[in-house]
Structure 1
């Protein structure tokens, strides 16, 4: 890769350092969460497969995995299929939407309900507070400064919608719901429907705000 091409890919040395450190922090936080959670669950009789399914059933884990994959892809050769997919503004903006909602929901709703200690607290803060900020910064730096279509905000709703369907089906079978506001066993399906609608509106509103921001950045970049 030529020096000019590399400079275009990474706006500055600092931007590359931010990206590289963000990738490390995100993956280490996920590894830490799995490292401390697997023994804790298995101590209570869970199988390894059961623990992994449980952990992957959290929207937080899924969103952080997408964030880790997305930023890691930006370190790959530009000719790779993975880089071409994750470097698209539509994809990066979708991921920043999901992980931003993770941070907002946790810090506004769930923080007062969950009080982890020791390494669990470290992992919790990284996954719900630090990583969303790191990804947002990287998104501002590396996401293509292009105008996204307003209709794309609707496409981003598919991921949380399918996650909701999966969670409700699994919850009905196992009586486990990862988040209290979608606990159909305690709240009932009518309340869950209302809560889910509110969350989808939040996703849609934030998605529209992000599109508005990309359009503003696009105009600024052309100025």
Structure 2
């Protein structure tokens, strides 16, 4: 759909947006913690931060004309799309934000997810994606879930209500993890289906 340098230019915009959002979030958190290491420890607790960081690195690589496989690009897009959907459906309004924190929240939960998903739909390579990739992509949120639970078990702070092991108990928390993984797999299957349809419509081999 786009030719020439346009894909790289759009990748630059997305990468810069993600980096700026992360920087503003760091600034807002640092204003409270007063320590660089503590700030990093706090913000890296959240799936939003880790995923936006992955988007920033991935789109920076695309902007620099480095090869990013369709498998990686689709997985990153799926993860950041989940960030936006989960925030809008489950987390929006739980905290009253203002100033820099509100700006970062808007960038990381709305701007970056929307821009990245649209980039993947319109521009990103989609050839070679397979049905089993949806299972592999789900390993990232599951690994994050385990990481967040371990951290929360140590310091008593859980990043999201549906991960609060202390309040929900092991069974409900595990069920939430399974539900998250299933949603991720279903979304991944839909992405593969879209990639195959897009390839067929363009009259090109699916790989």
Alignment match of 1:187 (pick from 168, 182, 191) = 168
After superposition, where does 1:88-167 map in structure 2 within 5 Å? 88-167=69-148
CA distance in 1, matches of 2:39, 2:100: 18
Q: TM-score w.r.t. structure 1 length? A: 0.85
User: Do the aligned residues in 2 keep the contact of 1:60 with 1:128 (CA within 8 Å)?
Assistant: yes
After superposition, where does 1:1-223 map in structure 2 within 5 Å? 11-42=3-34, 47-77=35-65, 83-84=66-67, 87-222=68-203
Structure having the higher Rg: 1
User: Do the aligned residues in 2 keep the contact of 1:147 with 1:211 (CA within 8 Å)?
Assistant: no
User: Do the aligned residues in 1 keep the contact of 2:83 with 2:109 (CA within 8 Å)?
Assistant: yes
Over the residues paired in the alignment, what is the CA RMSD in angstroms? 1.8
Q: Describe the SS at the equivalent of 1:202.
A: helix
CA distance in 2, matches of 1:163, 1:62: 9
Residue 4 (structure 1) aligns with: none
Deviation at 1:112, TM superposition (A): 2.6
User: Do the aligned residues in 2 keep the contact of 1:182 with 1:195 (CA within 8 Å)?
Assistant: yes
Q: TM-score w.r.t. structure 2 length? A: 0.92
Deviation at 1:31, TM superposition (A): 0.7
Q: Where in structure 1 are there 5+ consecutive unaligned residues? A: 1-7, 78-82
User: Do the aligned residues in 2 keep the contact of 1:67 with 1:95 (CA within 8 Å)?
Assistant: yes
Deviation at 1:113, TM superposition (A): 1.3
User: Do the aligned residues in 1 keep the contact of 2:9 with 2:63 (CA within 8 Å)?
Assistant: no
Runs of 4+ more than 3 Å apart: 12-17
Deviation at 1:50, TM superposition (A): 2.7
Aligned length: 204
